[in-house]
Amino acid sequence: MEKATIVKLQDLLLVTLQSDMNDQAAMSMQHKVLEAVAQPGLRGVIIEVSQLDLIDSYMARLLSDTARMIRLMGAVTVLVGLQPTVAITMVEMGLVIEETRTARNLEDALARFNGNVGNIRRGNGQ
């Protein structure tokens, strides 16, 4: 069973991560997302993580690396759905997912993409 669902929504890619995603599934997700971003006309990737009860250092690094790769390919990454406990743990552990922007939920992310992408909060505090 796939541990990530990847759906194209017009010029955006929606990636939903499942709670039981292992390292191999995460690498597979990264590869599939980058293949999709290489297609013409895609301007952004929304990574939905509300089902994750934990983002460990490996997953944080993989998401950060993926976001940097997406940025190099000319698209924007938005991370949505962080659970409060996950956000607290990430801050306490000093985990930063660089090159991402954040939104509270999918609707917020879509509204920001459809309005002004510059208004999406950056994951690194900028």
What residue segments make up the domains of the chain, in order of their start?
A: 5-114
Least trusted range by pLDDT, from 16-20, 93-97, 105-109? 93-97
**DSSP secondary structure letter of residue 105:** S
Task: Output the six-digit token pair for 76.
Answer: 């924007």
* Residue-level pLDDT at 2: 64
* Residue-level pLDDT at 98: 81
* Residue-level pLDDT at 104: 93
Helix/strand/coil percentages in the chain, nearest 5 = 40, 20, 35
Strands (E), 1-126: 4-9, 12-17, 44-48, 76-80, 100-103, 121-122
d(CA 97, CA 47): 12
Asked whether residue 32 carries a pLDDT value surpassing 60, the answer given is yes
Question: What is the average pLDDT value for the chain, to the nearest integer?
Answer: 88
* Residue-level pLDDT at 121: 45
pLDDT band at 1 (very low <50, low <70, confident <90, very high): low
Helix (H, G, I), strand (E, B) or coil at 45: strand
More confident residue, 116 or 66: 66
Q: 5-114: what CATH class?
A: alpha beta
